[in-house]
Chains A and B, each alone.
Chain A
Amino acid sequence: MPIDYYLNIAASGLLTGLVYGLAALGLSVIFGVVRVVNFAHGEMMVAGMYGAVLLGGWLGFDPLLSAPLMAALLFACGWLLQRGLVNKFVERPEHMQFILLLGIATILVNAMLMLFGPDARNVQVPYSFDTVEIGSMLLDAVRLRAGAAAIVVAAALFAFFRFSRTGKAIRACADNPLGARVVGLNIDGLYALTFGIGAAVVGVAGALMTLLVDARPQLAPEYTLLSFIIVIVGGLGSLPGALLGGVLIGMSEALAGFLLTPSMKSLFSYGVLIVVLLLRPQGLLGKRS
């Protein structure tokens, strides 16, 4: 019986971790190509959450249905942000980029606080209390759907980068910006596209997240840090690493929340981060630069 208990917790941690991993994937894509750390990542994610909450409230949309809409909206925002502001900072010192995005993050999170207030808001779905039995495990229907959707989106993203011409062009940009420019690629356009894709991915992750937790503005900085932790644990610039890191952090959080007190679960993630930074600074699946 106790083993089943732990299996159950690990499995639900894994499913939550897939959504975390998806969010981190967006961060990883942006960093891997544009070489800018998106400090407003969690803020974008919570924007995606509020989008799903609003669509659910007004039109009764399921978060799974809101997800593609949020992807489109955040793609546009990310694209504009890169075109309008971030692109000017690509060549600037690292701390300048950091400060710029920190400012944008601060604006976003407080704008959401003013618009939606500090209270938690959620989406009603008919299957919110359903459970699915798999073997001896009992899993929440919401968690299963969120995890499955995260896998689908991540797979689509991998396929895009692997097989499409644009995806290959973006990877060329990431590997060698100068070389990419020499062969005639429109670097600025591809950067904007990449930032848009990263934002769209985190928007989807946000919409899916509403299945699991209630939307609050205070979540934004937490998710920014969480995405960072995951990306660093998995390896900066490595897409499979981000997903793996997400699953790892999700499972360790779930187990820590169960074994210790829930309020100490994020302590565990920071512990994992510090250990990885020291023992393997390039991350689990990252390459040494």
Chain B
Amino acid sequence: MSGLSGVMFSGITGRGMVLLVLAALGLAVAPFVADRYLVSVLTTVLWFAYVGQAWNVMMGFSGLLSLGHALYVGLGAYVSAALFVHFGIGPWAGMVLAMLVAVVAGCVIGFLGFRFGVKGVHFALLTIAFAEVARIGFDHITWVGGSGGFFLPVEAGASDPLNLRGSPVLFYYVALALVVGALFLSRALLHSRLGYQWLAVREEPDAAEASGVDLFRARMTAVAVSSALTALGGVFQAFYFNNLFPEQVFSMGRSIEIILPAIVGGIGTLVGPILGAFILTPLGEALTFLIEAGGLDLPGLKQLFYGAALVVIVVFRPEGVWPWLARRLRLVRQPGEGA
């Protein structure tokens, strides 16, 4: 165990450790002190932190830009919801198939992309194309409601954690568990043989290949891990919101929302996606609140703000907020990787 905890917490300064413990404690007790609204906002924050972390495995660790991650969210959501509605199979069992379907989709895209040498911009476009095909395709699959939407049965006051039915607090803790799990998994992966291969492939594909790294395998595993994790986020989304519309779930806008936290927080860092989600979602909520308080009806202002955030970050802090913050506050021993 000391080996594992050594990997998990190495490089963090005393100060960083105190902050980490405080943040963990705060999140653990939050539902006892926060009201319903705040819990729902925090759940959204955690969801974006989680899927941002999942996206980060592809872009941040392996240098594969995916702009179609909504595809994996949507597949995870639709598969688990369809199993539940049509066959009565709960999400804890259904998530296995949901992840499997997403991994297969990811591997098909990855296989086509990597085997045929589709790189950079072209690869990103390939991911968009598949997400769009899924969006239009699901609009026409009447078995899961088509464009009219797919709805999960909702019972007021139901408490059935085995089927992921219950209060918002239940979902809060599930989301928190997802974030913590993804954080530890990412950290462990980064310090594994596979993780070092990913970083090598990201930095210098040619050099990595020359020193014996199987580029195709390294990239495929990155896609598989990322799509599987993202699909879990989709399962959560389906059972949390209880409704699915292809227009929303698979949309390009959703894919962009998924990549935002990692970009703002810091691509390729472990804390980045979490910090990014904690910056963006509350700001977006505050903006919505201000608009409503001002009696204005301005759809699009929140998205406009997100766009501006992207531009500001990429111009002034291209490496993200976290690396800069960690250096300034001396939270980690070495600048760069890790929490």
B299 & A113 in contact (Cβ 8 Å cutoff): yes
- CB neighbours (8 Å) of A281 from chain B are 116-118, 122
A106 & B304 in contact (Cβ 8 Å cutoff): yes
What are the 9 closest A-B residue pairs judged by CB atoms, nearest first? Answer: A106-B307, A103-B310, A110-B300, A113-B300, A103-B311, A107-B307, A110-B304, A110-B303, A103-B307
Task: Please report which residues of chain A, range 91-113, place their CB below 8 angstroms from some CB of chain B when the two chains form the complex.
Answer: 92, 94-96, 98-100, 102-111, 113
Q: Place the interface of chain B in its size category.
A: 35 or more
| Closest chain A CB from B112 CB (angstroms) | 6
Given A94-B120, A110-B301, A110-B304, decide whether A274 and B129 contact each other with a Cβ distance below 8 A.
yes
- CB neighbours (8 Å) of B306 from chain A are 106
- CB neighbours (8 Å) of B65 from chain A are 94-95, 98
**B140 in the interface, Cβ–Cβ < 8 Å?**
yes
A110 & B128 in contact (Cβ 8 Å cutoff): no
Give CA–CA (A266, B309) in the complex, Å.
31
| One of A99, A105, A221 near B263 (C-beta < 8 A) | A99
Give CA–CA (A215, B184) in the complex, Å.
48
| One of B129, B252, B307 near A273 (C-beta < 8 A) | B129
B136 & A118 in contact (Cβ 8 Å cutoff): no
Residues in chain B within 8 A of chain A (CB atoms): 59, 65, 67, 112, 116-118, 120-122, 124-126, 128-130, 132-133, 136-137, 139-140, 147, 252-253, 256, 259, 263, 267, 298-301, 303-304, 306-311, 314-315, 318
**A152 in the interface, Cβ–Cβ < 8 Å?**
no
Q: Most chain-B CB neighbours within 10 Å: which of A92, A106, A107, A228? A: A106
Residues in chain A within 8 A of chain B (CB atoms): 37, 85, 88, 92, 94-96, 98-100, 102-111, 113-114, 118, 217, 221, 225, 228-229, 232, 261, 263-264, 266-267, 270-271, 273-274, 277-278, 281
A225 & B116 in contact (Cβ 8 Å cutoff): no
Closest to A224 in B: B252
| Closest chain A CB from B258 CB (angstroms) | 12
B126 & A277 in contact (Cβ 8 Å cutoff): yes
B128 & A225 in contact (Cβ 8 Å cutoff): yes
- CB neighbours (8 Å) of A229 from chain B are 125, 129
14 CB contacts below 8 A, A to B, read A95-B59, A99-B310, A103-B307, A105-B307, A110-B303, A110-B304, A111-B304, A217-B300, A221-B253, A225-B128, A225-B132, A267-B137, A274-B112, A277-B129
Give CA–CA (A88, B118) in the complex, Å.
26
